[in-house]
Amino acid sequence: MRRRNLGDLLRHVHLGGALSRSELADRMGLNRSTIMALTAELSAAGLVGEELPGDTGRAGRPSLVVRPQRDRAHVLAFDVRVDRLVAARVGLGGEILDRREAVRHRAGADLEDVVGVLAGFGRELRRGARPGSVCVGVGAAYCGMIRPDDGTVRYGPYVGWVDQAFGVELGSRLNLPVLVGNEAHLGALAERDRGVGRGFDNLIYLHGDVGVGGGIIVNGQLLGGYGGYGGEVGHMVVNPDGRPCACGSRGCLEAEVGEPALMEHAGRYGEMIGRDAVRAVVDAADRGDVMAQEALAHVGNWLGLGVATLVNVFNPEMVVFGGILREIYLGSAAQVRSRIATGTLRATREQVRLRTTALGDDATLMGAAELAFAQVLADPLEALSRVAPAPFGG
Amino acid sequence: MRRRNLGDLLRHVHLGGALSRSELADRMGLNRSTIMALTAELSAAGLVGEELPGDTGRAGRPSLVVRPQRDRAHVLAFDVRVDRLVAARVGLGGEILDRREAVRHRAGADLEDVVGVLAGFGRELRRGARPGSVCVGVGAAYCGMIRPDDGTVRYGPYVGWVDQAFGVELGSRLNLPVLVGNEAHLGALAERDRGVGRGFDNLIYLHGDVGVGGGIIVNGQLLGGYGGYGGEVGHMVVNPDGRPCACGSRGCLEAEVGEPALMEHAGRYGEMIGRDAVRAVVDAADRGDVMAQEALAHVGNWLGLGVATLVNVFNPEMVVFGGILREIYLGSAAQVRSRIATGTLRATREQVRLRTTALGDDATLMGAAELAFAQVLADPLEALSRVAPAPFGG
């Protein structure tokens, strides 16, 4: 119980920033003396600090605020995108303290290469950490289907991976256990914890890149399904006579609204790739380029159809567009909304709001960081004792 | 804690039938003396009885078995289908002790009429109960979207109801509170508790009638969504250029695979209605009627496409076909399976099995009964004390 309370308190300041003891007492339903005792324990371990707040504008002695110590504990977070590898050191509290990125070519990236680059980034990032800061976990987001137990990539179509032991390999190179999650799953958790979905328990995060993934939060929990492969909304068939999909089917949502579809409709296939290419189409449409406008309208129509289906099935409070779907949604909101207006039942339509990511391109990376923080937030002192000597030579 | 244990024990025998004390101890993780004490309390209240088992084939003194007393506590269960009204008295343990049915015409059934018929059935069923049997709850399944708080029908397309206070009206006529649920939601719970889905925590129950509904169990919990309207799989668009749907959209799953679509493709529209009509098409196909075979193949193709989408999104262990979808699936399994084979990702496809309802036409009725039993299973003695004098004049 004490351990759980320690973890809960740390989670509150990790996600909520500096909070006064009285706010913590309210949020956790505990009395102030318990909060003081818990804070003292976490403070002795170096995980939180207490300080006077800024000017509160009120008379009287202000309550001390409890703040996470970003330099005491950090995690390594990795994000394997189709066109880019990203790595970051993220401090307790969620701040990105340092980062590395590498652009990569789509085809032929084998496991060895990817793991090599990421492990190199990881070593650099750890070397840059302040003395006394310990690494409490490693998380990675991957653009494909992940087996949760061991971080194996079951299927990563655009990278060309099938059944690759990504988590195990990266872990052995870093000499640390690595937790791996699907990028859209992790993006959903990050938006719920730190982004536009804060406080929403029924949320769908749609992540677009070359493909389209979904992270679906049902009643506060990520929808994993039986094997952890739930949320593959990119392979909903929205257009049975539509474009062939990398999965072997036809007219899947990702075939109709992913980057290649947009670039082809816009007459720009092959010019550039990645998020910048998508942004260039949206910019062109804003400047009056009719072909770009039509491409966005076309893609927005299929996106709206897919979202309408998801709204009917899940009755969510919020749908969040992330990755390139952020740009595509912003460039085709009229089509998306029109499809939802005609394709959903009123009782559910009334309850849903459409939003774009608040974490931008870092949503998936931040989700990977949260995966890595999970252990220290579950049982802070135990997790710390496993990775670090007693704090401050104690 | 004791109350919860009493409820748990009662739930085990309610769902599992007669169980020996030692089986109960195993399943509940309690020692035998606790089981004996709990059983004694429930037995004093008349809710369970103890008896010697049938021949166990083993030597030695057999363990007494604990059995639910179906005549001590019952519920009223109602099922409002498009073409039929069903009512039943269901005893503790789940046996249907008595039932009433009325065929009804589709159009023009107003709330007053439906509630009048059901309330009349309810009174008859209660009069037929044995002396000493008490009614511990009333549940109703309805073929439309239900607001969980008060049992209001938000949308019941084929009955023509919008925002009708069904639960409140039926309750005031019966002078008992009535819990109302969507038919497919309740069918899903019934199949999970008593049917083919027993023990499966990630299950999709697809219920067909004139329309198509879904009850989706995610990680052991019914997917309600934010407002309780989740699972409206009938309005997934599977065929964007397809048949108009009663909801105002086009090509919804229910427009493509519901009873009207099948009857029209089979050249039999208007001949008969309801499940018998669908069965007649399947029978004709079995006898070699080419038009009936083609109609089933056509409808099965869209059904398979819809199921493939759901498998990708939910990664379920099982999909259960109920209502007329049972017949349609049995008559078009090749098309359904073929669509799933080509339209789902391997990791999810490997984990799903397709099944038909084990509870037949009563799945939704049984789900309504379970809704009504929920209170007595949560806190048996308290629930009993509210509806009945002390047992046996005590």
Q: Which residues of chain A fall short of a pLDDT of 50?
A: 107, 390-394
pLDDT at A348: 94
The verdict on a CB contact (< 8 Å) between A347 and B229 is yes
- Hey, of A192, A205, A309, which one would you mutate to test binding to chain B, going by the most B CBs within 10 A of its CB? A309
CB contact under 8 A, B238 and A240: yes
Give whole-number Cα distances, A203 to A56, A191, A220, A252, A315, in Å. 35, 9, 8, 22, 9
Residues of each domain in chain A carrying CATH 3.30.420.40: 73-186+362-374, 198-357
Find, among A211, A215, A206, A229, the residue nearest to A368 by Cα: A215
* Closest CB from B145, B229, B348 relative to A227: B348
Are B202 and A221 in contact (CB < 8 Å)? no
Residue B105: what pLDDT?
A: 61
Query: CATH homologous superfamily of domain B73-186+362-393?
Result: ATPase, nucleotide binding domain (3.30.420.40)
pLDDT at B393 (0 to 100): 39
Reading phi first (left if > 0) and then psi (alpha if -120 to 50, else beta), residue A132 is in: left
Q: Are B315 and A248 inside 8 Å of each other by CB?
A: no
A154 in Cβ contact with A168 (< 8 Å): no
Tell me, what's the pLDDT at B57?
A: 64
SS3 call for A95: coil
Poorest-pLDDT segment among A209-223, B56-70, B326-340? B56-70
| Residues recorded for chain A | 394
The pLDDT of residue B160 is above 80: no
Which one-letter DSSP state was computed for residue A270?
T
Q: What are phi and psi of B273, to 5 degrees?
A: -130, 165
CATH topology of domain B197-357: Nucleotidyltransferase; domain 5 (3.30.420)
pTM metric for this prediction: 0.93
Fold of A2-68: Arc Repressor Mutant, subunit A (1.10.10)
Please tell me the predicted confidence (pLDDT) of residue A64: 84
Contact A228, A152 (CB under 8 A): no
Between B20 and B106, the more confident residue is: B20
Query: Mean pLDDT score of chain B, rounded to an integer?
Result: 92
Closest CA to B81 of B362, B296, B303, B321: B362
Q: Residue A391 has what pLDDT?
A: 47
Nearest CA in chain A to B204: A225
Q: Residue B85's beta-bridge partner residues?
A: B80, B102
How far is A216 from chain B, CA to nearest CA, in Å?
A: 9
Tens digit of each residue's pLDDT (9 = 90 or more) over B168-189? 999 999 999 999 999 999 999 9
Residue B394 — pLDDT band, cuts 50, 70, 90?
very low
Per-residue model confidence as pLDDT tens digits over B298-331: 999 999 999 999 999 999 999 999 999 999 999 9
Q: Which of A202, A229, A345 sits opposite B247 (nearest CB)?
A: A345
Angle subtended at Cα A332 by Cα A330 and Cα A333, rounded to the nearest 5 degrees: 70
Least CB-CB distance to A248: which of B223, B312, B342? B342
Predicted local confidence at residue A158, as pLDDT = 73
Contacts of A247 in chain B (CB under 8 A): 345
Q: What is the dotted CATH code of the domain comprising A73-186+362-374?
A: 3.30.420.40
Nearest chain A Cα distance for residue B72, angstroms? 36
**DSSP 3-state of A81:** coil
Identify the band that residue B63 occupies on the pLDDT scale cut at 50, 70 and 90: confident
Rounded to an integer, the average pLDDT of B214-221 is: 97
Poorest-pLDDT segment among B1-5, B38-42, B199-203, B289-293: B1-5
Facing residue for A316 by CB, picked from B216, B225, B228:
B225
C-alpha B2, offset from chain centre: 30
Q: Which residue of A has its CA nearest to B216?
A: A313
For residue B387, pLDDT over 90 is answered with no
From-to residues of CATH 1.10.10.10 in chain A: 2-68
- Section B229-248 average pLDDT: 95
- B194, pLDDT greater than 70: yes
Residues B114 and A174: their CA atoms lie apart, in Å, by 68
Cβ–Cβ gap A313/B233 under 8 Å: yes
Quote ipTM for the complex. Answer: 0.93
Question: Please, are residues A299 and A261 in contact by the beta-carbon 8 Å criterion?
Answer: yes
For residue A386, give every residue at least 6 positions away whose Cβ sits within 8 Å of its Cβ, in sequence order, or none.
none
pLDDT at A389: 55
3-state secondary structure A330-390: HHCHHHHHHHHHHHCCHHHHCCCEEEECCCHHHHHHHHHHHHHHHHHHHCHHHHHHHHCCC
User: What's the DSSP call for residue B271?
Assistant: T
* Predicted local distance difference test score (pLDDT) of residue B389: 55
CB-CB contact of B362 with B95 (8 Å): no
Task: Output the CA torsion sign for A381, A382, A383, A388.
Answer: positive
Q: What is the fold, at CATH topology level, of the domain defined by A198-357?
A: Nucleotidyltransferase; domain 5 (3.30.420)
Tell me if B232 and A145 make a contact (CB, 8 A cut-off): no
When scoring B235, B250, B311 by the number of chain A Cβ atoms within 10 A, the one with the most, hence best to mutate, is: B235
Pair type for strands B203-208 and B318-323: parallel
Nearest-CB residue to A342 (from B147, B238, B248): B248
Structure tokens that stand for A327 in this block: 């740009």
Look at the block and give the residue holding tokens 């964007």.
B240
At residue B1 the predicted structure's pLDDT band, cuts being 50, 70 and 90, is confident
User: Lowest mean pLDDT: which of A262-276, A299-313, B28-42, B368-382?
Assistant: A262-276
- What's the whole-number mean pLDDT along residues B12-18? 95
SS3 A139: strand
